[in-house]
Structure 1
């Protein structure tokens, strides 16, 4: 009986498949690792079903994963990896390329699994981070895995947040398809739905927006989620490198389409992007401010609708509320004016157009005359080779109050020029060198302080003239007349050598008169327009927006005219004129060369001598 039982047992044991411990006698497989793997319960013959005994004869038949994973294998066969493999691409990913050796495969929830969400960047990166692999197969994305790892999704996954998107959440796992495939999760028509798995509320809003509806209609130009946020390198909006960062969204993201000439010709976007870039908001953002309004501030983010849609934030019925977020108390008049206005043509209010055209004529005519006049004078004086010498005697020219107001104007004007043009040209190297870029807070503060100083200097100057009768004489002396026109012509004739008689002047010549009244006029223009722009909330509550556009245009062009006038006209009169070089120091000492006054203003010189001899006055006034 015992012999019979032993015989039956030997037959059963001989017919039983070999156990893993029998296989490792010949095969180099770590039994401990295998027994911890997903396939441990299947033993060796679960996959190697052709093996019936150990040792076995011949090479085992290929393992067929489809025996257990039929759906996954079918999906893989249609994927980019499976199709590449079928076309002969030997280095295309296979099951083991992603899951690892069948003897070590762990469940995707296991921390050590190759397909664990936290490890997917490394797994996918074995091919997609390989420059040689990318170049060989002409894959256009450069370092997609590295970009993903620094993205908001990649960082969250690295922290262990299993809800954050991993590679397979967006691309799929076994069923990864080319982005050109209409069924692909990353096909532009499906991107919003793919992102909507996690961002459901956002996707719902986007689907009803102008962009979402255009994508549904098949538009290949309208942006999807990745069009604005990026693909692998999606960053948080607060990140300076994010495509939707407040400092970049207008120029980099929205401007990429709305500023594109090809798309503009197709959809007639107009010149809204350059108009915004040159606007107060655009200049503030270009200068580094993060709180100034950008495209998304007014138009919305995912809920961008046509301005004709009553739900749109830029519908005329809603503009007061939209603009009121930053400008409380804004009036209804903002709804009747155009918003995106350029100072250099395009869509602009008639007032802006005429201001621009006026200055386009005035600036070249004025500065052209100044260059001609001063250039001719400079060459004539060099040609005459008159030695720069004299008695060294000094005569009173500017009293204390005139020097004080002139000093206030001198310092504030230079500050206004630097800080004003720093706003207009924030990317310029000189702006960065002077530290006037960044958030723009310092620049704006200095500009406003200087504006108050120059206005205060002008008011102080007028009060001074009202209170001091002796100094009030300059108003009479500065009044232009027909003789000034004659003096200009005579000066030009003299410098051309057409006459030997040099024109002479009284207390003030035509040069000082032109400069004084131009300064007064320019100060009024800059003060009025500057205050309107400074008190923007007050202005918007009372005036249509075209008033602000006109103020901006006048302020800018008048600044150009004033700056060039000081450089070309005033600096020549007090610095570069060969007869006063290196500088007329009256602004500092209050005195001027007696020789120069005697030669250019003989009657005024005689008057000064008479007053000096009688002790009537020791100082005389002068224009700023």
Structure 2
């Protein structure tokens, strides 16, 4: 019996020695796939909580076509040391995607071979973006894990994004993105997306160009949807397909504010929805005629903003000026404003150019009347002529300051596509600050205008000797037409320069332009400033027309002021060097008065009334201060002109 036990023991020892001496099983891919190829049935392991979870199958055909096809399984599964089930693991940390790819990229940088591996650089950037993304944040239920890992989106065994975006393979890969995002985590969003116009294009028609989840949310930079940057970038994403709609949207106040970098006005998804975007004819669509007012009231809810009224529903957020059949009012308004701009600028720029040429030629030929040395004149001749009373000068200064403020704040919105507009908006308190300053400036402008109008009218109505079409009136008369004809004759050397009376025709144009501006710019601006009241009585298309009229008329006023008005008063050869300070001191020398208004001068001399208008020359401090103020205003005006030019010629 003892002998038998010794024999058995010897046999077991010999077998153990044989096993110990045998080489370990090779852990190559072939060995791993004998179990993990999906042919052996479902494989399960216990997770950290002891719950059973199914292991992923590795299909040899897909793995062979993937970007990882040349890698060994144990290159990632470093804790596996045998091919026995269940595996005896070493406890080593399994390599994760980010660590591995970052190490490869760092190695390539050290070796100086990055130029040969552009795709690896893309992956490195994606890793950096992911680490800052919403997906990389700790999961609410499992704080030790991120919300989403690389392997939840990328099947590491079959990962192979088709390079050719026009290929059927790419279309098939793109079609699966909504399913991947939806079935993994976002099932409610997937259900909404599947019923949308976008979802039907992708899922039903396999349209690779239609938007999917990553179109709006990006691939790796997944961010919180409440962020301003996300909201603004979504507008641009929509515009990649809907170019015309994005362009027309940008012409509205909503679009201008978003281009300035603020998300406080309606964006594409506010009106059309996010995942369940439906066609405008669908009764369930947010932009269906029956639902538009409700959609507008999402923002114009009567709390932060006045409640949207009936006319909001007929506002055209994508109205344009070239589709007469759909938007006849916009077409007419735009064409009318273009005709007005062309007419005004063609006449006055030609007028200014010819005037400059005539004065330059006269100076060249020695025809200019020389300035008189006032220090050698009799005391009476050294006096200055009182041209403007204090009230007019104060009103002019306020108008100048307010107008420039309106131009800056208004054109910042009108030309929101420029690089300078967001800077100006930020400096002035953002879009809301810009709007507030613009409206306060407009209110001051209208108030000063109203005070001036009431003062002038009550004074004239009490003056029984005042003639409405006389030489002291700013009302245009037949002499103004004769002076215009006479000026053009003088421009071409066909006659003498007209003898102007108290008011020249171009001064009258400047004066009445304020009335026109208050009516057109002010009226349209008021309608836009109180949309809930406007829409209570008028259809929504008036907002589209008002936007066009307000912007184009303001553009006309700004360019006219800083070109024609500046030329007439500061940059004519006879006025050089600028500035002309008569509007600040209220006076001008008798020599200048005789040259500028010879008819009025002669009329006052003949009537013996000239002396009543003569005053002492302005003091040196007043003169110096007026020149400094004039130069500052001119510089600011010309700066605004440059900004407007950048906006106009910079496209949109």
TM-score, length of structure 2 as denominator length: 0.77
| Cα distance change on mapping 1:108 and 1:157 into 2, 3 Å | farther
- 1:167 match: 150
Alignment of 1:25-40 (within 5 A): none
Give the CA deviation at 1:293: 0.6
For residues 567-586 of structure 1, what are the structure 2 equivalents within 5 Å?
567-581=562-576, 582-586=578-582
Cα pair 2:135 2:149 within 8 Å, conserved? yes
Contact 2:409 2:437 in 1 (8 A): yes
- Deviation of 1:7 after TM superposition, in Å, equals 3.4
Q: 1:235 corresponds to which residue?
A: 223
Query: Superposition pairs for residues 224-623 of structure 1, below 5 Å?
Result: 224-239=212-227, 245-251=230-236, 253-259=237-243, 271-328=244-301, 329-336=307-314, 338-343=316-321, 349-385=327-363, 386=368, 389-390=371-372, 391=374, 393-431=383-421, 434=424, 439-469=430-460, 476=469, 477-499=473-495, 501-581=496-576, 582-609=578-605, 610=607, 612=609, 615=612
CA distance, structure 2, for counterparts of residue 356 and residue 62 of structure 1 = 76
Distance across 1 between alignment mates of 2:590 and 2:251: 50
Q: What is the aligned partner in structure 2 of residue 187 from structure 1?
A: 173
Distance in 1 (alpha carbons) for counterparts of 2:545 and 2:27: 80
Q: Which ranges in structure 2 are unaligned for 5 or more consecutive residues? A: 41-55, 302-306, 375-381, 617-652
Q: Secondary structure at the match of 2:480?
A: helix
C-alpha contact (below 8 Å) 1:320/1:334 kept by paired residues: yes
C-alpha RMSD of matched pairs (Å):
3.7
Q: CA distance change for structure 1 residues 96 and 474 in 2, over 3 Å: closer, same or farther?
A: farther
* 1:596 Cα deviation from its structure 2 partner: 2.4
Give distance in 2, aligned partners of 1:15 and 1:556. 96
* Distance in 2 separating the partners of 1:471 and 1:589: 28
Q: Are 2:81 and 2:89, in contact at CA under 8 Å, matched by a contact in 1?
A: no
CA distance in 2, matches of 1:107, 1:563: 80
8 Å Cα contact 1:299-1:313 kept in structure 2: yes
Q: Distance in 2 between matches of 1:149 and 1:72?
A: 37
What displacement does 1:588 show?
1.0
**How many pairs does the alignment contain?**
561
C-alpha contact 1:316 1:335 (8 A) present in aligned 2: yes
Helix, strand or coil at the partner of 2:308:
coil
1:78 — aligned with what? 60
Tell me how far apart the structure 1 counterparts of residues 397 and 311 of structure 2 sit (CA, whole Å). 42
Residues 209 and 474 (structure 1), Cα distance of their counterparts in 2 relative to 1, 3 Å cut:
farther
CA distance in structure 2 between the aligned counterparts of 1:128 and 1:81, rounded to whole angstroms: 23
Question: Shift of residue 233 of structure 1?
Answer: 2.4
Structure 2: distance between partners of 1:215 and 1:407: 62
Partner Cα distance (2:70, 2:214) in 1? 26
Q: Which residue of 2 aligns with 1:266?
A: none
Q: Secondary structure at the match of 1:247?
A: helix
Cα 1:611–1:461 shift into 2, 3 Å: farther
- Corresponding residue for 1:114? 94
What residue is the counterpart of 1:210 in the other structure? 197
Q: Find the aligned partners of 2:386 and 2:520 in 1 and give their Cα distance.
A: 32
1:331 deviates by 3.0
Aligned-pair CA distance for 1:388: 5.1
Alpha-carbon distance in 2 for matches of 1:474, 1:451: 33
Q: How far off is 1:583 after superposition? A: 2.7
Matches within 5 A, 1:151-166: 151-156=133-138, 160-162=143-145, 164-166=147-149
- Give the superposition deviation at 1:163: 6.6
Distance 1:435 1:84, change over 3 A: closer
TM-aligned CA deviation for residue 417 of structure 1: 1.0
Deviations 1:241-296 (A, max 9, x none): 5xxx1222112x1111222xxxxxxxxxxx21100011110001111222111000
Q: Distance in 2 between matches of 1:550 and 1:572?
A: 32
Distance in 2 (alpha carbons) for counterparts of 1:618 and 1:137 = 81
Q: Is the 8 A contact 1:331 1:543 kept in 2?
A: no
Q: Shift in Å at residue 513 of structure 1?
A: 1.6
Superposed displacement of residue 133, structure 1: 9.1
Displacement of 1:448 in angstroms is: 1.3
> Displacement of 1:77 after TM fit?
4.3
- For structure 1, the residue ranges without an aligned partner over 5 or more in a row are 19-51, 260-270, 620-624
Residue 592 of structure 1 aligns to a residue in which SS? strand
User: More displaced, 597-606 or 374-383?
Assistant: 597-606
Check 1:220–1:471 CA distance in 2 against 1; reply closer, same or farther (3 A cut): farther
Tell me how far apart the structure 1 counterparts of residues 234 and 439 of structure 2 sit (CA, whole Å).
29
Distance 1:60 1:471 in 2: 117
Relative to structure 1, is the Cα distance of residues 405 and 79 closer, same or farther in structure 2, using a 3 angstrom cutoff? farther
Aligned equivalents of 2:339, 2:26: Cα separation in 1? 90
Equivalent position SS for 1:188: helix
Other structure's SS at 1:14 match? helix
Deviation at 1:577, TM superposition (A): 2.1
How far off its partner does 1:222 sit? 1.4
Pick which of 549-558 and 164-173 moved more. Answer: 164-173
Residue 395 of structure 1, CA deviation: 0.3
3-state SS of the aligned residue for 1:371?
helix
Shift of 1:299: 0.3
Q: For the residues of structure 2 that align with 1:583 and 1:258, how far apart are their CA atoms?
A: 50
Tell whether the 8 Å contact from 1:393 to 1:593 is kept in structure 2 after alignment. Answer: yes
Listed one character per residue, the Cα deviations across residues 479-509 of structure 1 (whole Å, up to 9, x for unaligned) are 212221111111121232112x331122112
Give the drift of 1:103: 3.0
- Give the Å deviation of 1:189: 1.9
Is contact 1:209–1:305 with CA below 8 Å preserved after alignment?
A: yes
CA 1:125–1:104: 2 relative to 1, 3 Å:
farther
TM-score by length of 1: 0.80
